[in-house]
Structures are given as structure tokens and as C-alpha cells.
Structure 1
Amino acid sequence: MDEDTPPATLGQASLRLDAVPPRRRLVHTYERGEFTVVELRGEIDLSTIDEVGTGLSAVTRSPGALVVVDLRPAQFFDCAALTLLVRTHRLLLEHDGWMGLVCTHPWHLRILRLAGLTMNLRPVATVEAACARAPRRRPQ
């Protein structure tokens, strides 16, 4: 639509592109002590995986990173998200890091179980429980 094209109208209401709300941020990251918590929000699927992947890859760069991925704010995720979780877990382990997973939605837990990921990713109900599972580091 160029600047000379009038907005589409439906009766008295008009639809303007600038009236469409901006897309919600899908990744929210914060620090909790020595841990980086990454909340995944909204719908995590093939159409949003690049944005989510960028957010997760940022936390895997530091050697020895302790990361907790929180799926509680996610409304939906598909196999692309599962692949991303496995890749993030593997990258962290390869760089002497660790990943915990928080997941409470029964449907999400079922998907993780059916994909055979609950044994490796070991989801728990809270960020605190995930942090408690992290390996303890020896002081240097």
C-alpha cells in the first residue's frame, strides 16, 4: 500500500496498518543470581523460531553459562521449538554450561514426554527448582 492509497473501510470503521498493535516480544531475559532466565512467551513455532533462536543463542555464548528456560508464559510450541531447546541444551553442555527447564502446562509436558525429552531436559515447576538442580561450581 503506498501513501496515496486510502485505508480499507468497512462501514464507518477504517483499517489502518499503523493501528495494528506491534507484535509482542517472544523472549524475555533476566538475571537471577548466577543464572540467566529466558522466558519464552506467546506462540513459539516455525514462524517465530528465528526471533526466539536469536534470544536463546545470545545466552549460550558464554562458557559455563547457567541458563533456565521458562516455558510457562508460552501458549504454544511446536517441533521447531523442541529442536531449539535440544540445540540450546547441547550447546550449553559443549561449553561447560547448564540448562534447566521450567514447564507446568500439562499439554506442553505431554509433548516433551512424547518427544522423549523429559529424561534429558528434566522439566520442573519453578525457576527456583530449576536453579536448585544446577551443578555446584567449585570456587576458583
Structure 2
Amino acid sequence: MHRARSPLPHVFTNGVLRTVSLHYLPIRADQDARDLRRNETELISDAHQRRRIGQIEDAGETAEYEEVMQQEADLTAGHGVLRATGLVCITAPTLDELDATVASIEQAARQSSCETRRLVGQQAQAFAAAALPLCRRV
């Protein structure tokens, strides 16, 4: 699970008419433990490969490993993991304003380390899930 590294500017952008829905799905502890072990193994293997070829480890790689270790400690302590999905329904009076607004929201999401996907051709289902969150699964 990736955590946002800054406040969510795409939620607090001024002058944008939008509805934001957050959906959380609990992850089974055994599945999360398996994923963490796989991530830890990959990180250790990558670090070993970098050392073998004489490459220097950077701060991002160290932070990523420390985050996996913290997640493993949290899981061992009994904390659960939630998969989060945020849906943003944007409304604008004209097509040009809609394009500009979508671009600004996408830029703000990237700054927050959030992945975005436009639900093209799925407007009805996306609107129902984002604007009308009535205990639906995403």
C-alpha cells in the first residue's frame, strides 16, 4: 500500500466542483504477510545485486526497505491493512473547463503520489460509485 507523502491537494483544490468518495477494502492478514515477504525478498535481492556490481544505494531504496519493515512490524503487532480507492467525480459547466479541471486534479494527485485513471466509457458506473457511494464495492 502506498501512502500519500503530502496532504491531498486534489481534494482541497479551490474552484473545482467535485465529489470525492473513499472506499476501503480490508486485506486478509495472511495475504498481506505473503505480499510483504515477497516485497522484502525483492528489496534484499535488489540491494545485493547493487552491492555486487558496485552501485551505491540511495535514500529512496533505504526508505522503501524501512517502510516494508515497519509494515511487517505493524502486521506482527496485529494492525490490519486496508486497500484504499478514491473516486473523484468532477463537474464543470463547459467541456473546456472540464478538461482544465481534470488536468489540475490529475497534477495534484501526482504531487500526492496517487495513481489516477480516467474511467472513459464507464461514466454511468463511475458516477454511481463516486457521486453516490451507497455501500458499493469498487
Q: Which has the higher relative contact order, 1 or 2, with Cα contacts under 8 A spaced 6 or more apart?
A: 2
Question: Whose strand proportion is higher, 1 or 2?
Answer: 1
Question: Whose helix proportion is higher, 1 or 2?
Answer: 2
Fold shared, TM-score > 0.5 on shorter chain: no
